[in-house]
Structure 1
Amino acid sequence: MAEVAVCSTINNLEALLVHDEPKLLRKVHREVSIIKAELESIKSILKDADWRAETGNENAKTWVKQVRELAQQIEDVFDQYTIQLSERRQRRGFINFLNKVTRSIVKLKPQHDIASKIQEIKQTIVEIKKKASGYESSNSEADQDDPRVASLFVEEDEVVGIEYTREELVDMLVSGETNRMVILLVGMGGIGKTTLAKKVHDNQKVLAHFDCRAWITVSQSYKIEEILRMLIKQLYQSRNESPPPGIDAMDQNSLTDNVRGYLLQKRYEIVFDDVWRTDFWRFVKHALPKNSKGSRVIITTRNKEVASFCKESSLDYVYEIQSLPENEAWRLFCMKAFQWDFGGACPSELEKVSREIVRKCEGLPLAIAAIGGLLSTKNRVVSEWQKFYDSLGSELERNPNLTSIKKIVLLSYHNLPYFLKPCFLYFGIIPEDYSITCGRLVRLWMAEGFIEEQKGKTLEEVAEEYLIELILRNLVQVSSTKINGRVKNCRVHDVVREIILSKSEELSFCHVLADEDSSPNNQSRRLSMHMKNRMDEIQESTHISRIRSFFLFAVGELPKTGPRWVN
């Protein structure tokens, strides 16, 4: 996200240098050029720092926050300068109108000397660049627990809602086509892809049917050579054989030849769990011969584009994992929440709040199981369970028993290219259970400056492509479609939205002010107000100097046609 802020600031400075008359910029033109160049040098190392920050490196997190705040400070200072410049020009027409609107919405504080602020910025840049190397010395992704591991060890009596699918997939593995078949399980994080694949992989029929087998968990930052080495070792191990000597020194081509030669006359079954990118299959498939032995490959992925890319023939099969239906979701919740008492059934006094909690989970097995397990340790008191429901967002953020939910969802967030991250976080602005029209959403993204220009395409076309990519990654849900099949309305899962809100607060991206909140966050760049009874606070809230975009959802008073938006 710091990369987004820096890129936006660089673009704004570029516009300032190009579009404003040099004679009016002569006192600051050189300073703007210097600051722009310094930001570009910071940008070159920011991508790595951003990744380290998002995967647990505390030093990187601190440094990235400082860079983000610097970019915002630069933006503020030069916006103030631009407004002063426009006031001196006294331009007529549309630009003058926009300046008046800006001044009427944002009440800027009395200006200090712009030159001194620029010198402060330059000094801050020097200090930040000195600290750039320090972020590498703290913990990184390798030190973090992998939240996906728990999905490999779900007990048989805890499997809910996938029994039929499991038997169907087992049958596909052990019977039918004699040529190699690729089976793709696709769905959002936490939907149960890994659990389903593992139950199929460990089935006794499957164990007995194949000559050799392997299970490979694919990381976001995988190296194809390491994948192939793990594959060789597991295939040999499944037959109680020793892997060939020297594989640790082999290059990619040698490893590919080794795997292919070993599998050529064998019936094999291999699972690649949590594949993130299409180029994975582009490299791995060459090691997997299309023999006539009835071999099977299972790939789990969150990305529909990956699934489409891996499906290369009519023999291959794509299975989209759906959320649990209401009855199965309720059964799983009761199994976890009341596993020690009440015979696994929900007592009548807790049923109302329990069903509210289950509805909040929207059929996501990971969330249902984790929340149900946590509630099994709490007192059977309605007020305590209601309090938990009302504070679910903070519970997901702070409760160690629920951190796996956040980590699983954030794996998808971390995998997004930098330009999609603010578009995804933007869904936190929208109230719970609210679907926004896609046309309105992409225009908001455009107005915020999130959309990058691409040759031969309009900004709106690029923005629509951004939205489709978020949908393909199973981060955004389609609420309704038009007659021509295009997406009309979209939303995010309620649990995902809670995590978005937490991330937005952390990044000062947006603060949501609802009825239970006391005051807005003074550091946020955006304010979204979901109000019923506190309309008198709106004017006071819009005076916060850092706010760039303001959204008003008068919940219960206005039809759900979209936000009132000011930028």
Structure 2
Amino acid sequence: MAESVVTFLLQKLDTFAHENVKLLGGMREDVGYVRDELERIRAFLRVADAKEEGDEEIKVWVKQVRHVAYDMEDVLDEFHLRFSHHGGRGFYRHLRKIALTIKNLKARYRMASGSMEEGSSSSSVAVNKTWYDLRGDALLLEEAQLVGIDKPKRDLIGGLVGGRSELQVVAVAGMGGLGKTTLARKVYEDDVEADSMDSGELKAILAGFLREKRYLVMLDDVWEVGAWDALKYVFPTNNNGCRLMLTTRNTKVASVSTIDFGGMVYDLKPLSPEQSWNLFCGKAFQGNQCPPYLEKLSEKILRKCEGLPLAIVAISEYEKILSLSFNDLPYNLKYCFLFLSIFPEDYLIDPRKLIRFWIVEGFVQEKEGRIPEEVGQGYFNELVNRSLIQVVGRNYDGRITECRIHDLLREIILLKSKDQSFVAIFGEQSKALPERARRLSIHKPLEIVDGEYDFSSLRSLFWFGAKDDSIPSFSLSTFFNGGLRFLKVLDCTGANIDTFPEEIAKLYNLRYLSLRDTKVRSIARSIGKLRNLETLDLRDTYVTELPNEILRLRRLRHILVYRRSEKRFSSSAEVIGFKALGSLETLSFLQSLCYIEVNHGGAGVMKSIGELTQLRRLCIVQIRAEHGADLCSSIEKLRYLRSLSLLSANPDEVLNLQNISSPPSCLQRLSISGRLQILPNWIPSLSNLTTLVLEVSGLQIDPFESLQSLPNLVYVELIQAYDGETLCFKAGDFKMLKLLAFSKLDRLRKVTIEKGTMPLEGIRFISCKSLEEVPSGIETLGNLESLELIDMPDEFLSQLRQRRNDLLHISSILIGHEADGVVDRYVL
């Protein structure tokens, strides 16, 4: 991991040299010397990192390298701050300080290099053998010791023996320690498959001569798509019923392999609580019952294991086993993964927020033609594919909305983070404020204590304490007294704060500021001093206005200022944004602007929005009829826009959105709340649209007649949006539609669904008072899993019960009634 620290420092040094090329002058050779030495040390560390576990001397040296690299980062950051605010004074003195630090590091490097070379061959063998043995542990379990393997084995054998005669792939996917290798081995040894292949064929497979043979080949633990690409051409694609079976913890490998040859992906699931208990007792107590006095402790262990067979069998070795997944990561992903240690146990993580953290921390590398958020999304997807991040929630369009980290993996990165001074946690095991940490995450209420602290190395400060008025008001004074000159991230979400802390204006290096879910009502003009700020998150506060000094923050990428009240037009939540500033052109890097109230500031505000050409997400509220022309003109200019929300000033305000001839082709999510009367003619041309929400639109014509050909539409919601009496979904329409939601369509009397239309998974009806018949053809929706009915007429519910036998394929039918904003639901 020390290699990652030096690699990160090299990247920072390159940026430093590039941005200050004119100032360097005759010092370029010194900078080059620094860089060359860091390259040599990095190469050395690639070996040292692998050996430090078994060599205390190397471990100490690697730790020293890490601390010196941190010190060098401090020097670079200090120069950046001084140069930003005081011109070029002190430049050469700081550069000499960097060179001196490197010379000190080089001396340590030479001393350690000699000890590394002594006995290097034996150390290397020991290290390699350790990791080899760990990955082979999965094969040491006898079948009698296995629990929960019978059904997966039968399923896989069915996939291998049956099916088409062409070559197919059966991929077993799942996180490390789940038992993929053990399952594959038992399938391979099963009599059914062994009888299907003679020994001559198996020898031919081993020798590589597979042509014209019927064969079964097992590929265990394929980590990367590149490894699969290198192997797949070895296997001839004949029609003899050949099968490949591979195990992988990378879901992308599983998906790609089955796409190449056809076949199936078997997603191996963790053991149930009952299966976990049986396996645990079988190993710990030789099949006997657990002693009563050990039951609570045993249950706690099993909760940590979360159904992983290998973790249950070898709990004492779990750290080394799952560390394989971590050690396999490239350096930039190691940083991103270690960063997850800031979150409390079982915390549900917002991926978009996580990616923003990565960006401001400097973990996301620049790639030509792609914005950092897109690169960061790629990093996130890679960690998900490697089963290092667990997906908890998705939108119907497939976008991940919530995720978490497995408790066992969290324990590993907590230990690594602490050892490397990467993240310090206050409130779990530690009750004292740690010093010299790069990042500090507060998980428990912070009692302000007297004393002197050194927080000069702190880069990020996170607050995850409970929101409780009984807790003493959160104060930054303790941290400012300890020095926070390098702080880049300040996340005070949920803290007991009611005024904007003036000390924040002194954080010149700040990139990310969140006061979300606090009682703050106004933002001080001094925020204009934060010239490096990239994200400003004031959601769920009482802030409704930003000072004009915000326009000085030219590096801003995300402005998130809004809260939701209980009702909007008596149907859905009202959004309260912030009053528009003057012209917005100076904020040319903005990616997200949510929610701006355009009824303040005149026509110039609406026009200036069109100059923010990098916007990916735009939310506008308080739109009036006279804004129509300028709004349409601005939308046409935002060619990268992915998400657009438009809310009128009141339900009678007509939104004139017809004059858009070239809408953003990348638009995926569109929400319009306001009177339209007719559906804008450009919406059916949005081929990438996945989500459409229309509210109080006053549509007279069935909108689905125009929307039917949208190829990627997944979710449609109509809220008081349609005044007609019938809706019809024709055969062959809406190839991707998964969820329909209708709320307060007071005149709707009949819904017809033709056979062969849309693969719907869910339908929701809320307070459609005239709809007395269950949709005709609903029984033909074979994929329908959920039907939710809130405040529907008695006649509708009566017919629903009469037709219950037609709806047996629907696994969940919920009926509810709303009272005082609370919905009481029951299952049919």
Indicate whether 1:235 and 2:203 are aligned: yes
Structure 1 residues 540-549 or 314-323, which shifts more? 540-549
- Following the alignment from structure 2 to structure 1, what is the Cα–Cα distance between the partners of residues 48 and 258? 33
Structure 1's 196 and 557: CA in aligned 2 closer, same or farther, altered over 3 A?
Answer: farther
- Following the alignment from structure 1 to structure 2, what is the Cα–Cα distance between the partners of residues 18 and 286? 44
Structure 1's 17 and 198: CA in aligned 2 closer, same or farther, altered over 3 A?
Answer: closer
Structure 1's 515 and 46: CA in aligned 2 closer, same or farther, altered over 3 A?
Answer: same
Instruction: Note the C-alpha offset of 1:491.
Output: 1.0
Amino acid at match of 2:183: L
Indicate whether 1:426 and 2:412 are aligned: no
- Contact 2:276 2:309 (C-alpha < 8 Å) held by counterparts: yes
Structure showing greater radius of gyration is: 2
Amino acid at match of 1:454: K
- Following the alignment from structure 1 to structure 2, what is the Cα–Cα distance between the partners of residues 70 and 543? 17
Indicate whether 1:142 and 2:122 are aligned: no
Of 224, 227, 237 in structure 2, the residue corresponding to residue 280 of structure 1 is 227
Q: Superposition pairs for residues 192-207 of structure 1, below 5 Å?
A: 192-207=179-194
- Following the alignment from structure 2 to structure 1, what is the Cα–Cα distance between the partners of residues 452 and 180? 44
- Contact 1:477 1:493 (C-alpha < 8 Å) held by counterparts: yes
Of 227, 239, 242 in structure 2, the residue corresponding to residue 295 of structure 1 is 242
Indicate whether 1:126 and 2:106 are aligned: yes
- Following the alignment from structure 1 to structure 2, what is the Cα–Cα distance between the partners of residues 465 and 28? 37
- Contact 1:213 1:268 (C-alpha < 8 Å) held by counterparts: no
Show CA shifts across 1:182-202 (max 9, x none).
211111000110111111111
Q: Superposition pairs for residues 380-419 of structure 1, below 5 Å?
A: 402-403=316-317, 405-419=318-332
Of 537, 547, 557 in structure 1, the residue corresponding to residue 458 of structure 2 is 547
Instruction: Note the C-alpha offset of 1:173.
Output: 3.0
- Following the alignment from structure 1 to structure 2, what is the Cα–Cα distance between the partners of residues 425 and 213? 49
Amino acid at match of 2:217: I
Indicate whether 1:268 and 2:255 are aligned: no
Instruction: Note the C-alpha offset of 1:14.
Output: 3.8
Q: Where does residue 254 of structure 1 map in the other structure?
A: none
- Following the alignment from structure 1 to structure 2, what is the Cα–Cα distance between the partners of residues 448 and 158? 46
- Following the alignment from structure 1 to structure 2, what is the Cα–Cα distance between the partners of residues 313 and 118? 52
Indicate whether 1:190 and 2:171 are aligned: no
Q: Superposition pairs for residues 163-178 of structure 1, below 5 Å?
A: 163-178=150-165
Instruction: Note the C-alpha offset of 1:490.
Output: 1.2
Q: Where does residue 77 of structure 2 map in the other structure?
A: 79
Instruction: Note the C-alpha offset of 1:447.
Output: 1.0
- Following the alignment from structure 2 to structure 1, what is the Cα–Cα distance between the partners of residues 10 and 199? 54
- Following the alignment from structure 2 to structure 1, what is the Cα–Cα distance between the partners of residues 457 and 35? 21
- Following the alignment from structure 2 to structure 1, what is the Cα–Cα distance between the partners of residues 200 and 152? 21
Structure 1 residues 556-565 or 522-531, which shifts more? 556-565
3-state SS in 2 of match to 1:178: coil
- Following the alignment from structure 1 to structure 2, what is the Cα–Cα distance between the partners of residues 80 and 28? 18
Q: Superposition pairs for residues 254-403 of structure 1, below 5 Å?
A: 259-260=208-209, 263-312=210-259, 315-339=262-286, 344-371=288-315, 402-403=316-317
Of 434, 437, 448 in structure 2, the residue corresponding to residue 536 of structure 1 is 448
Amino acid at match of 1:208: D
Unaligned runs of 5+ in 1: 92-112, 215-233, 244-257, 372-401
- Contact 2:168 2:261 (C-alpha < 8 Å) held by counterparts: no
Q: Where does residue 463 of structure 1 map in the other structure?
A: 376
Structure 1 residues 550-559 or 436-445, which shifts more? 550-559
- Following the alignment from structure 1 to structure 2, what is the Cα–Cα distance between the partners of residues 317 and 541? 61
- Contact 1:270 1:296 (C-alpha < 8 Å) held by counterparts: yes
- Contact 1:5 1:71 (C-alpha < 8 Å) held by counterparts: yes
- Contact 2:138 2:181 (C-alpha < 8 Å) held by counterparts: yes
Structure 1 residues 287-296 or 61-70, which shifts more? 61-70
Indicate whether 1:6 and 2:24 are aligned: no
Greater RCO, 1 or 2 (C-alpha within 8 Å, sep 6+): 1
Of 56, 65, 68 in structure 1, the residue corresponding to residue 66 of structure 2 is 68
- Following the alignment from structure 1 to structure 2, what is the Cα–Cα distance between the partners of residues 85 and 313? 54
- Contact 1:51 1:414 (C-alpha < 8 Å) held by counterparts: no
Show CA shifts across 1:491-530 (max 9, x none).
1101110011112223222122224324455453222221
Structure 1's 177 and 563: CA in aligned 2 closer, same or farther, altered over 3 A?
Answer: farther
Structure 1's 86 and 165: CA in aligned 2 closer, same or farther, altered over 3 A?
Answer: closer
Instruction: Note the C-alpha offset of 1:4.
Output: 3.2
Q: Where does residue 168 of structure 2 map in the other structure?
A: 181
Show CA shifts across 1:284-310 (max 9, x none).
233322233332221001111111221
Instruction: Note the C-alpha offset of 1:118.
Output: 4.1
- Contact 2:435 2:454 (C-alpha < 8 Å) held by counterparts: no
Alpha-carbon RMSD across the aligned residues, in angstroms, is 3.5
Structure 1's 515 and 290: CA in aligned 2 closer, same or farther, altered over 3 A?
Answer: closer
3-state SS in 1 of match to 2:387: coil
- Following the alignment from structure 1 to structure 2, what is the Cα–Cα distance between the partners of residues 129 and 356? 45
3-state SS in 2 of match to 1:345: coil
Amino acid at match of 1:459: P
- Following the alignment from structure 1 to structure 2, what is the Cα–Cα distance between the partners of residues 58 and 549? 30
- Following the alignment from structure 2 to structure 1, what is the Cα–Cα distance between the partners of residues 494 and 115? 42
Q: Where does residue 481 of structure 1 map in the other structure?
A: 394
Instruction: Note the C-alpha offset of 1:22.
Output: 5.5
- Following the alignment from structure 1 to structure 2, what is the Cα–Cα distance between the partners of residues 187 and 363? 12
- Following the alignment from structure 1 to structure 2, what is the Cα–Cα distance between the partners of residues 415 and 561? 34
- Contact 1:271 1:299 (C-alpha < 8 Å) held by counterparts: yes
3-state SS in 2 of match to 1:165: helix
- Contact 2:152 2:268 (C-alpha < 8 Å) held by counterparts: no
Amino acid at match of 2:464: F
More strand per residue: 2
Q: Where does residue 554 of structure 2 map in the other structure?
A: none
Show CA shifts across 1:100-159 (max 9, x none).
xxxxxxxxxxxxx86884464132243245344753553234232521222212122221
Structure 1's 326 and 37: CA in aligned 2 closer, same or farther, altered over 3 A?
Answer: same
Structure 1's 124 and 160: CA in aligned 2 closer, same or farther, altered over 3 A?
Answer: same
- Following the alignment from structure 1 to structure 2, what is the Cα–Cα distance between the partners of residues 512 and 164? 42
- Following the alignment from structure 2 to structure 1, what is the Cα–Cα distance between the partners of residues 194 and 21? 74
Structure 1's 180 and 59: CA in aligned 2 closer, same or farther, altered over 3 A?
Answer: farther
- Contact 1:527 1:550 (C-alpha < 8 Å) held by counterparts: yes
- Following the alignment from structure 2 to structure 1, what is the Cα–Cα distance between the partners of residues 50 and 223? 18
Instruction: Note the C-alpha offset of 1:434.
Output: 0.4
3-state SS in 2 of match to 1:545: coil
Of 444, 447, 451 in structure 1, the residue corresponding to residue 360 of structure 2 is 447
- Following the alignment from structure 1 to structure 2, what is the Cα–Cα distance between the partners of residues 65 and 315? 48
Show CA shifts across 1:290-342 (max 9, x none).
233332221001111111221145741111111122222222223223326xx
- Following the alignment from structure 2 to structure 1, what is the Cα–Cα distance between the partners of residues 56 and 221? 26
Q: Where does residue 46 of structure 2 map in the other structure?
A: 48
Unaligned runs of 5+ in 2: 472-490, 496-511, 514-532, 534-828
- Contact 2:436 2:457 (C-alpha < 8 Å) held by counterparts: yes
Instruction: Note the C-alpha offset of 1:89.
Output: 4.2
- Following the alignment from structure 2 to structure 1, what is the Cα–Cα distance between the partners of residues 412 and 452? 24
Structure 1's 305 and 355: CA in aligned 2 closer, same or farther, altered over 3 A?
Answer: same
Instruction: Note the C-alpha offset of 1:454.
Output: 0.6
3-state SS in 1 of match to 2:396: coil
3-state SS in 2 of match to 1:551: strand
Q: Percent sequence identity over matched residues?
A: 37
Structure 1's 59 and 457: CA in aligned 2 closer, same or farther, altered over 3 A?
Answer: farther
Structure 1's 17 and 314: CA in aligned 2 closer, same or farther, altered over 3 A?
Answer: closer
